[in-house]
Structure formats: C-alpha cells, structure tokens
C-alpha cells in the first residue's frame, strides 16, 4: 500500500515534488475501502461502489462524490456535514471492522509481531482466530497461518475481515479450521504459535510436538491468573526463555503551550507471554 518517493527531490507537505505534477496521487476507485471521518473523529468504513450512497443521520454522500477523487478529500452530506475520506490503515480497519469475538487491539498486535518475530514465509499456528484482527497483522507481514477456531460464525467473520482488507489472495495463506485446540493439533512443523483463547495452558502441551526446535510461542491473556497457569504449562512442556510483559499506551494532549498527558490512557488490556521451544 505504501508509495515510494524519490528522496533526492524536494517534497512538499502534500507529497508533490516541487515543479512537477503530484506523481504520488492515487485516486479513489470503485472497490476501495474508505474511512469517512467526521469533525468529531467518528469513523465509518465504506466500500466504494457506483450507484451507492453513504447514509448517516446527518445526510447522504453518493459514492460518485468520492470515486476518482484524491485520498484525503473532504465531502459534504446533503445536510452539510463534512467527512474526510482516507484509505484505512490496518489499525483503523481493525477498530472499525465488524467483529464477532473481542479483538486484540493494535497496541498489542504490534508488539506481538515483534515478540513472535513474525516474518515473511513463517508458518504460524493461531488459536482462536476470533475476528481475525491479529491474523491480519501476521498475514500482512507475509506469514502463513493455520488457525483453529471453535465457532463457525467467528471463523467466517475472520475470513471476511481478512478478505476485506488484504484481498482474496491473502486467503491462500490463511487456513481457518473448525477445531478445538484443547483437543490437540493435527499439524506439525510450525515456526510460531500465537494464542488468544480462555485457557491457553490447555494448548501448550500440544505445541511442544507441533512446533519445530527454536520456534516461538506468544500467548495473549487478559488475566494474570491465566498467565501463571500458562507459564506453569510452558515449564512443564519444556519451553524455555519464558517472559511476560504488558504494554501501556498513553497519548499526550498538545495544544500550543498546553502540553500534558491525556487524562485517560489505554492501560491494561492483556499480558503477553513469550517462550521458545528448545531442541530435545
């Protein structure tokens, strides 16, 4: 999705190169996902289609007002409410997409990608897949996922979300199976395992056989009681290098000289536990 710019030229704030046409412009086209953001920061996801309208209590925007226009364009509804249109980033998509199960938030997905060292071509075991938020982060780095999920409606939602943001080709690397991961794992040779389900310690004993030596497991759990049980299970199964952390996210209010931390912060969401499978 990213554009490259010749850094030997002088770029303007809009990305245009001085004295030249704005070569980085990529107009919105039919089929694009677009995030419409109003003055209060409310966000709405739409897929552009000719003959369709974005409808809100504050009026209507025909998609024709967006198709062919520049990303970042401001449009007005029939009642005069203004929206700015952007292609959503992955974080924005995750926060706005339809959900089945509770998602892992971007603040934790980023660190999980690093802790688990998710890289192009690596084979990941994921359970459960829920709404597919974490799956999308991993697929976008080029990983291949076998995901075990108990609920058919969640598996279907995750698959739709992945297709919606990454396109149908991403599904070639996303094999979601309706399986209970507490009962066992029918596949072997995984480079990584990423767990987000109520009792991860019940999956850990199966991971020892399903993962290759040197492989990394990361487990996300909201409660420290879940963490202690998982850590004990990792020890029993012979995993090494175990560690647990959490990520706190504090934004800052910056308005001229009024500079202070926001009154609210995203503090606890979940604990991230990481361990490695040694050779036997």
Q: Least distance to ligand SAM from the beta carbon of 99, Å?
A: 7
Under rule CB under 6 A, residue 147 binds ligand SAM: no
- Window of 16-24, 53-61, 180-188, 253-261 that interacts with ligand SAM by CB under 6 A: 180-188
Q: Is 173 helix (H, G, I), strand (E, B) or coil?
A: helix
Q: Would you say 198 or 238 has its CB closer to ligand SAM? A: 198
If binding is defined by CB under 6 A, does position 182 make contact with ligand SAM?
Answer: yes
270 neighbors 115 (Cβ within 8 angstroms): no
Instruction: Please tell me whether residue 125 binds ligand SAM under the rule CB under 6 A.
Output: no
Pick the binder of ligand SAM from 67, 97, 118, 133 (CB under 6 A). Answer: 133
Locate 29 and state its tokens.
């086209």
Are 230 and 203 contacting, i.e. CB atoms less than 8 angstroms apart?
Answer: no
The span from the first CA to the last CA of the chain, in angstroms, equals 42
With CB under 6 A as the contact rule, the residue among 125, 148, 165, 190 that binds ligand SAM is 148
User: Which residue lies nearer to ligand SAM by CB, 28 or 227?
Assistant: 227
Q: Which residue, 67 or 200, has its beta carbon nearer to ligand SAM?
A: 200
Which positions from 22 through 81 interact with ligand SAM, judged by CB under 6 A? Answer: none
Q: Could you say whether residue 223 binds ligand SAM (CB under 6 A)?
A: no
Q: Provide long-range contacts, Cβ within 8 A and 24+ apart, for 230-234.
A: 230/200, 230/201, 230/204, 230/273, 231/273, 232/201, 233/200, 233/201, 233/202, 233/204, 233/205, 234/204, 234/273, 234/275
165 Cβ partners below 8 Å, 6+ apart?
Answer: 33, 88, 90, 93, 97, 136
**Which CB sits closer to ligand SAM, 47 or 102?**
102
Q: What is the DSSP letter of 28?
A: -
Q: Which is nearer to ligand SAM, 72 or 184 (CB)?
A: 184
Ranges within 80-119 binding ligand SAM (CB under 6 A): 101-104
For ligand SAM, the closer of residues 73 and 95 by Cβ is 95
170 near ligand SAM, judged by CB under 6 A: no
Determine how many CB atoms are found less than 10 A away from the CB of residue 150.
16
Q: Which is nearer to ligand SAM, 77 or 230 (by Cβ)?
A: 230
The contacts of residue 15 (CB under 8 Å, 6+ apart) are: 3, 5, 22, 24, 25
Q: Which residues contact 252 (CB under 8 A, 6 or more apart)?
A: 259, 260, 261, 262
CB 162 within 8 A of CB 170: yes
The answer, yes or no, to whether the previous bond of 128 is cis (omega within 30 of 0) is yes
Q: Which of 88, 106, 130, 270 binds ligand SAM (CB under 6 A)?
A: 130
| Segment interacting with ligand SAM, rule: CB under 6 A, options 80-88, 192-200, 211-219, 223-231 | 192-200
Binding status of residue 159 toward ligand SAM by CB under 6 A: no
Contacts with ligand SAM by CB under 6 A lie at 101-104, 127-128, 130-134, 148-151, 154, 180-182, 196-198
């Amino acid at each position: 999705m990213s554009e490259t710019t010749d850094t030997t030229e002088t770029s303007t704030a809009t990305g245009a190169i001085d004295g030249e046409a704005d070569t980085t412009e990529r107009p919105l086209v039919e089929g694009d996902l677009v995030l419409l953001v109003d003055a209060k920061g409310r966000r709405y996801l739409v897929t552009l289609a000719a003959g369709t309208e974005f409808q809100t209590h504050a009026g209507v925007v025909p998609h024709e007002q967006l198709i062919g226009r520049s990303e970042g364009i401001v449009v007005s509804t029939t009642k005069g409410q203004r929206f700015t249109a952007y292609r959503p980033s992955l974080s924005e998509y995750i926060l706005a997409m339809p959900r089945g199960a509770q998602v892992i938030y971007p603040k934790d997905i980023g660190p999980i990608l690093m802790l688990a060292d998710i890289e192009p071509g690596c084979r990941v075991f994921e359970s459960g897949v829920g709404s597919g938020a974490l799956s999308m982060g991993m697929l976008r780095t080029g990983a291949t996922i076998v995901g075990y999920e108990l609920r058919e409606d969640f598996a279907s939602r995750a698959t739709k979300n992945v297709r919606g943001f990454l396109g149908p080709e991403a599904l070639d690397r996303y094999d979601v199976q309706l399986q209970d991961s507490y009962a066992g794992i029918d596949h072997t040779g995984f480079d990584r395992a990423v767990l987000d389900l109520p009792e991860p310690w019940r999956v850990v004993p199966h991971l020892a056989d399903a993962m290759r030596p040197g492989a990394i497991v990361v487990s996300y759990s909201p409660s420290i009681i879940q963490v202690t049980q998982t850590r004990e299970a990792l020890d029993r199964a012979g995993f090494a290098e175990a560690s647990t952390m959490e990520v706190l996210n504090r934004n800052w209010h910056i308005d001229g000289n009024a500079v202070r931390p926001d009154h609210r912060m995203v503090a606890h969401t979940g604990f991230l536990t990481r361990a490695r499978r040694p050779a036997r």
